[in-house]
Structure 1
């Protein structure tokens, strides 16, 4: 499995976890939004790997945006869920 595809599974799973209403929000608040910085870095790494492997970078770019928007409670939760769906679908899509 390509590194970019594996990282999309990882970041998609993390985004899905952060999208869980009470649990994800509690993690974001308990780390004083530090987890959003970690996710931004993971999305940046995934973007670089995907770009190098000629794979889609849309999910990683959206994830980086979500890391900034994640500080807004309801909007952040929705963005985490949307980003998770896009990353997981992209990771499950076979290479051409």
Structure 2
């Protein structure tokens, strides 16, 4: 499995966790909004790996936006949800493509 695919699964899962309405918000606020900074760094790393490997990277762009605007209550929830879905779909499609399956 390519590093970009693994990173998409990891960041997609983390975004899905942050998209849980109360739990995600309390986690972000409880750690002083540092999870958003961590996610920003991870999305940038995923973007770089995806670009180097010729993979889709729009999920990482959404993740960067979600990390920057995640502190806004309902906007953050929506962005984390959209980002998680896009990253999971990208990771699934990339994994199938690597195995030579029809996507």
Structure 1 length normalisation: TM-score?
A: 0.97
Rounded Cα–Cα distance in structure 2 between residues aligned with 1:21 and 1:72: 12
Partner of 2:89: 89
Number of positions where the alignment pairs a residue of Structure 1 with one of Structure 2: 96
Rounded Cα–Cα distance in structure 1 between residues aligned with 2:18 and 2:78: 10
**In angstroms, what is the RMSD of aligned CA positions?**
0.9
For residues 8-65 of structure 1, give each alpha carbon's deviation from its aligned partner in whole angstroms, at most 9, with x where no partner exists.
0000000000000010000010011110000000000000000000000100011001
Superposed counterparts of 1:28-43, under 5 Å: 28-43=28-43
Larger Rg: 2
| Structure 1 unpaired stretches of 5+ | none
| Structure 2 unpaired stretches of 5+ | 99-103
Structure 2 length normalisation: TM-score?
A: 0.91
